[in-house]
Amino acid sequence: MEQEIALDVKDLRITYKCLKSFSIKQSLLKFKKAKTEVYEAVRGVTFSLPKGEILGIVGKNGSGKSTMLRAIAGIFSPDSGIIDLHGNSVSLLSIGVGFQKKLTGRENILLSGMLLGFSEEQVRGKMDEIVEFANLGKFIDMPVKTYSSGMHSKLAFSITAILEADIILIDEVLSVGDARFKKKSYNKMKELISNKDRTVLIVSHSAQTLKELCTSILWLHDGEMKMLGDTDEVLAAYDDFMSK
Ligand SMILES: Nc1ncnc2c1ncn2[C@@H]1O[C@H](COP(=O)(O)OP(=O)(O)OP(=O)(O)O)[C@@H](O)[C@H]1O
């Protein structure tokens, strides 16, 4: 029987446009416009992920891992290429992804949940479970700007983990939080992954985590695909490359 595909990524290209460093004084004097510099962070990435697979993504710093996950999550559009979610819901678990700082944790749960595509009723129905998992005490009713980075990621993790999208994107988040939360989130992650209908993409620098969780690995290098395949094989080649 043919495997059902959860996610197709075809010839994905993502560029960042930044202002070239220039002197404001000079450009004002010469009436020159600041030039933009284009940087291709993801170049021609193509893969298909069957439903239920857990794909690990490795690559040295700056190789395009987070950029690719953010595009798959729909946070920004690629310059070209196709991301086909085959009708699946997707959510990104990442430390850097923003909450509304002036709103409380509880208000952010509602907002984030609805941004993920859940109805207000669905999010309210899961509210107590999310609040309990996040275990932030009185901080849950305080503005997120008062949170430490660990508390921030606890809230982010709890929202994504309890609301359970079809495709979950995890960006290095398992390595943050205090020891107790780390263990709890790791176990929750394993529980989520054990659902055969759920498809997961995990960016991590921990070979041990990837070995334990993943069914295959994609290695990105300078925005391009260097290798895609069996977990042990790709991790061994990557380890060899990084230790040179
Ligand atoms: N907002 C941005 N503007 C300009 N360039 C950016 C921006 N964000 C990332 N980049 C560049 O794009 C490239 C890919 O960055 P990305 O964060 O996707 O890499 P990564 O593989 O996730 O790295 P890391 O392992 O350090 O988290 C890097 O060279 C980075 O400097």
If 0-12 CB within 10 Å is exposed, 13-18 middle and 19+ buried, where does residue 138 land?
exposed
Residue-level pLDDT at 219: 98
Rounded to an integer, what distance in angstroms lies between the CA atom of residue 242 and that of residue 90? 31
Atom of ligand 1 nearest to the CA of 203: 22
Atom of ligand 1 nearest to the CA of 42: 14
Domains defined along the chain, listed by start? 5-242 (3.40.50.300)
- In the chain, which stretches have pLDDT less than 70? 1, 19-35, 94-97, 173-177
91-134 pLDDT, tens digit per residue, is 887 665 678 999 999 999 999 888 877 889 999 999 999 999 99
Ligand 1: list residues with CB < 6 Å.
16, 18, 39, 41, 59, 61-67
Integer angstrom CA distances of residue 117 from 60, 72, 111, 155, 165: 32, 15, 10, 18, 9
Which residue, by CA, sits nearest to atom 26 of ligand 1? 61
Residue-level pLDDT at 188: 83
Residue-level pLDDT at 172: 75
Task: Give the Å distance between the CA of 62 and the centre of ligand 1.
Answer: 5
Residue-level pLDDT at 21: 60
Rounded to an integer, what distance in angstroms lies between the CA atom of residue 175 and that of residue 185? 10
Residue-level pLDDT at 22: 58
Residue-level pLDDT at 72: 95
Task: Give the Å distance between the CA of 71 and the centre of ligand 1.
Answer: 13
Atom of ligand 1 nearest to the CA of 172: 27
Residue-level pLDDT at 25: 66
Rounded to an integer, what distance in angstroms lies between the CA atom of residue 169 and that of residue 203? 8
Task: Give the Å distance between the CA of 197 and the centre of ligand 1.
Answer: 31
| Placement of tokens 């029987």 in the chain | 1
Rounded to an integer, what distance in angstroms lies between the CA atom of residue 229 and that of residue 231? 6
